């Protein structure tokens, strides 16, 4: 009770504040999303994501070594697939010599200690831009899951440490675990996108991979709301996360990040596995745009948002700011 207790005593200077700080950040808290392009010596800027590029495998490997030296220990990777390789079944997704499989092998060869978590979803391979196989005007759940199992096993064969299903199909974690185990990959983990919302914050990401739903000569959903979650829902996120853990997920993810910190905390309280949070492309782009106009202090806002995600319960933060934040933390 005041005046015996004065909370400001613990805020007098930075040394005292650092002693009692409840949450800390380090480069090992970050995972860096990387976009892979075909070819050699290719670097394509993504206009809606300043500072982020699609890079060919040779340049990606160079950057992987750079971020490992900064203390970052995990990457999640996505590929930009040529149009002629796309179809409705996503067959290219489990090509042992496909772009994703080559990228995994190259990263693990160049930097064996880097944890590689490739994206498992069909949208980069789909002629319709959806995360699964289109049938009867919608994404067909079970045939999509069967394709995802082939995809995940091919990633494991290439050397992936974890597979990261982002598709939001029902039952896919169980089938992935069974498929990996049957193929002998008991050690390969699953980081499941458990609470992935149908969010408008993904726009720049879809620019990077050309993975937005598109018009077609057949009836297809105009958006991803039949499988990604309604952003009005909270209890559903807990249900999804618990289901994935029961099916064998080693980590669960909440996506997006800053706008969903209540969900992060709810999921953290409900599960007994690490919780990953994806600080998504739209959240990144907003900070970049405001900072370019001088409306916000870029570095301060970046670090505040990352700290808030960690405070909410994240064990790992997938963020396009990973490299910039690690540089600041190392200073």
Q: What is the CATH number of the domain that holds 81?
A: 3.20.20.70
**HSE, side-chain direction, 13 A CA sphere, residue 324:** 16
User: In this predicted model, what pLDDT tens digit does every residue of 238-277 receive, in sequence order?
Assistant: 999 999 999 999 999 999 999 999 999 999 999 999 999 9
**What average pLDDT does range 88-108 have in this prediction?**
97
pLDDT of residue 215: 65
Exposure b/e, 162-195, CB count within 10 A at least 16 = b? bbbbbbbbeebbbbbbebbeeeebeebbbbbbbb
User: In this predicted model, what pLDDT tens digit does every residue of 117-144 receive, in sequence order?
Assistant: 999 999 999 999 999 999 999 999 999 9
pLDDT of residue 108: 98
Catalytic residue among 105, 224, 255, 323: 255
- Quick check: is 15 in a domain? no
pLDDT of residue 309: 98
Q: Give the other-Cβ count within 10 Å of 239's Cβ.
A: 13
- Quick check: is 5 in a domain? no
- Quick check: is 202 in a domain? yes
pLDDT of residue 21: 95
Say whether pLDDT at 175 is over 70: yes
Instruction: For residue 105, indicate whether it is catalytic.
Output: no
**Do residues 33 and 320 lie in contact, with contact meaning Cβ atoms separated by under 8 Å?**
yes
- Quick check: is 264 in a domain? yes
pLDDT of residue 220: 85
Say whether pLDDT at 161 is over 70: yes
User: In this predicted model, what pLDDT tens digit does every residue of 193-244 receive, in sequence order?
Assistant: 999 999 999 988 877 776 667 666 677 888 999 999 999 999 999 999 999 9
Q: Rounded distance, CA 154 to CA 160, Å?
A: 9
Domain residue limits at 220: 29-330
Count of domains observed in the chain = 1
**What average pLDDT does range 66-87 have in this prediction?**
96
Instruction: For residue 196, indicate whether it is catalytic.
Output: yes
Closest CA to 161 of 266, 51, 316: 316
Catalytic residue among 108, 196, 288, 310: 196
User: In this predicted model, what pLDDT tens digit does every residue of 6-53 receive, in sequence order?
Assistant: 999 999 999 999 999 999 999 999 999 999 999 999 999 999 999 999
**What average pLDDT does range 96-119 have in this prediction?**
98
pLDDT of residue 212: 64
- Quick check: is 17 in a domain? no
pLDDT of residue 206: 73
Q: Rounded distance, CA 211 to CA 93, Å?
A: 14
240 labeled binding residue: yes
- Quick check: is 109 in a domain? yes
**What average pLDDT does range 174-196 have in this prediction?**
98
- Quick check: is 18 in a domain? no
User: In this predicted model, what pLDDT tens digit does every residue of 86-95 receive, in sequence order?
Assistant: 999 999 999 9
**What average pLDDT does range 301-328 have in this prediction?**
98
The residues with which 137 forms a beta bridge, in sequence order, are none
- Quick check: is 58 in a domain? yes
């Amino acid at each position: 009770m005041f005046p015996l207790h004065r909370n400001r005593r613990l805020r007098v200077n930075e040394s005292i504040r650092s002693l009692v700080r409840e949450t800390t950040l380090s480069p090992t808290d970050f995972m860096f999303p990387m976009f892979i392009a075909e070819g050699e010596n290719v670097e394509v800027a993504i206009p809606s994501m300043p500072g982020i590029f699609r890079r060919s495998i040779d340049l990606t490997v160079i950057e992987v070594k750079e971020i490992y030296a900064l203390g970052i220990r995990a990457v999640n990777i996505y590929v930009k697939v040529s149009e002629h390789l796309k179809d409705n079944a996503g067959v290219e997704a489990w090509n042992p010599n496909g772009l994703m499989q080559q990228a995994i092998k190259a990263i693990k060869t160049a930097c064996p200690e880097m944890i590689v978590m490739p994206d498992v979803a069909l949208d980069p391979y789909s002629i319709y831009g959806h995360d699964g196989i289109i049938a009867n005007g919608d994404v067909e759940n079970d045939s999509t899951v069967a394709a995802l199992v082939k995809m995940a096993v091919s990633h494991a064969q290439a050397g992936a440490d974890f597979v990261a299903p982002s598709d939001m199909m029902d039952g896919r974690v169980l089938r992935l675990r069974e498929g990996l185990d049957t193929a002998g990959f008991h050690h390969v983990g699953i980081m499941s996108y458990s609470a992935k919302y149908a969010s408008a914050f993904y726009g720049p990401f879809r620019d990077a991979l050309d993975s937005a739903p598109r018009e077609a000569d057949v009836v297809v959903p105009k958006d991803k709301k039949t499988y990604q979650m309604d952003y009005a829902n909270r209890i559903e996120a807990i249900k999804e996360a618990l289901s994935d853990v029961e099916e064998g997920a080693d980590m669960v993810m909440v996506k997006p990040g800053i706008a969903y910190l209540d969900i992060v905390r709810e999921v953290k309280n409900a599960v007994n596995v690490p919780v990953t949070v994806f600080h998504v492309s739209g959240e990144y782009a907003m900070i970049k745009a405001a900072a370019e106009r001088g409306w916000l202090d870029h570095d301060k806002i970046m670090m505040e948002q990352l700290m808030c995600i960690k405070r909410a319960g994240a064990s790992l933060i997938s963020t396009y700011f990973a490299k910039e934040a690690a540089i600041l933390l190392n200073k």
